Amino acid sequence: MAKTLFDKIWEKHVVKNIEGGPSVFYIDTHFIHEVTSPQAFKGLEKRGLQVFRPKQVVATADHNVPTLNQHLPIKEELSRLQVQTLQDNCKKFGIELYGLGHPYQGIVHVIGPELGITQPGMTIVCGDSHTSTHGAFGTIAFGIGTSEVEMVLATQCLMQSKPKLMRINVDGELNKGVVSKDIILYIISKISASGATGYAVEYAGSAIRNLSMEARMTICNMSIEMGARCGMIAPDQTTFDYIKGREFAPKGDAWDNAVAEWQTLYSDADAKFDVELNIKAEDIEPMITYGTNPGMGIGVTGHIPALTEIDEKEKVSYQKSLNYMGLEPGADIKGRKVDYVFIGSCTNSRIEDLRMVASFVKGKKKADDVEVWVVPGSKQVEKQAIEEGINKIFEEAGFILRQPGCSACLGMNEDKIPAGKYCISTSNRNFEGRQGPNARTFLASPLTAAVAAVTGKVGDVREFI
């Protein structure tokens, strides 16, 4: 019988099917970080358990770390304690930790792929919803809660129900100035912040095939923003070329065997999906969000929907959202003043993102009344940016290149956007208070963020290139 990519990986990881219930589902790789793991380790200790497969767990500190002066002790006491707790737990349970100061430290969804830990055909979980990022390599990868983190630490398994399957085909040529972030913001704006809930989503089509691995990661990363259980892309030569030679990639004969296996990971020609969507790449323009969920996105030349365009039942939520944002229904988004620019997060903090921004701002200066934070996704990205002289370009433009971490994506560490201020952000969520209490977020691509950095306004990158 014809199988989907998801089916092929799923079937290889089911330990047992339970009648009328979920399956016992085996997890190959488990990433952990400081915020969602301490209670799980506590649970293990309470039950007197060890970590079942410590070699299949990888840890880093990312959410709650400062992005300046990382060599100094963390100032905030609770944050320091949480990072210390991760360190203690990893030591006690024999888990590899790429913590602060380690050359591999960084955002968990950046370091997994860049170290070659993430490989096609795997099942991957992490106590973080953006675990869907790893699906770009043809994996089943999804976020879990802390109770589930405890289950995986204790047994390397989870109770999982098989989701429905959706395929989204993006075919054709992208317009100039349109990048992978725009593709995913466009998709979410079409199907809404809950449009893929209950589904595993496979992205396919020529426009997806033509993307680099880092661009594919941006797309899979935001699958959760439309509610998807996971997002995935079948591995191909682009995938293999990216993985080859990385620290934990298979070597020698093991490499050849791995690639042979990986080449079987695709949806068969006549495989059935519960839902299939087709999108023309040509229809996508540079995107930006105007509201307080990632589904509230429009092209930069578009207008914020008028109240007459909103379903009666959704009007209260819609008006609440625009009140929070300080925006009027029906207004244009282009030309809106921006106070902060944040380039970073597990969505867009990789070297290609930084190169994209650097190529745009080279020789230009930031607008006077804008503050620009660039936060690399990992120590390795930071190192590469310095080696390539990207840090110099940023310095000359007046940008601040900070140190790796989740930073202003989630308003947890020191990097917060002040109340009432507008931030154009390459991150993944524009929820109320996400970047700090009463902060206002416009989600966009690194290119659109770069335009705002230079002009101080929401602009159309196509007018500049």
Partner 1 sequence: MSKSINIVESTVVPINIENIDTDQIIPARFLKATSRDGFGKNLFRDWRFENDDENNPKKDFVLNNPTFKGKVLVAAKNFGCGSSREHAAWAIKDYGFDVVVSSFFADIFKNNALNNFLLPVTVSEDFLQQIFDAVQKDADTEIEVNLENQYIRIVSTGAQESFDINSYKKTCLLNGYDDIDYLLSMKGEIEAFETKKN
d(CA 298, CA 182): 10
Compute the least distance from the CB of residue 129 to partner 1, in Å: 4
The response to whether 126 counts as a known ligand-binding position is no
Strand 164-171, strand 230-232: pairing: unpaired
Compute the least distance from the CB of residue 433 to partner 1, in Å: 5
d(CA 163, CA 132): 14
d(CA 57, CA 64): 20
Compute the least distance from the CB of residue 304 to partner 1, in Å: 17
Strands (E), 389-454: 400-401, 422-425, 440-443
Compute the least distance from the CB of residue 455 to partner 1, in Å: 29
Q: Between 39 and 238, whose beta carbon lies closer to partner 1?
A: 39
Q: Between 39 and 212, whose beta carbon lies closer to partner 1?
A: 39
Q: Between 185 and 193, whose beta carbon lies closer to partner 1?
A: 193
How many residues in total does the chain contain? 465
Which pair of tokens denotes residue 308? 């007459």
Residue with tokens 């410590």: 54
The response to whether 220 counts as a known ligand-binding position is no
Half-sphere exposure of 160 (CA within 13 A, CB side): 32
Count of C-beta atoms within a 10 Å radius of residue 365: 12
The response to whether 346 counts as a known ligand-binding position is yes
Compute the least distance from the CB of residue 411 to partner 1, in Å: 5
Q: Between 155 and 169, whose beta carbon lies closer to partner 1?
A: 155
The sign of the torsion formed by the CA atoms of 404, 115, 109, 347 equals positive
Q: Between 156 and 239, whose beta carbon lies closer to partner 1?
A: 156
Single-letter residue type at 386: I
d(CA 431, CA 324): 10
Binding region:
346, 406, 409
Binding region for [4Fe-4S] cluster:
346, 406, 409
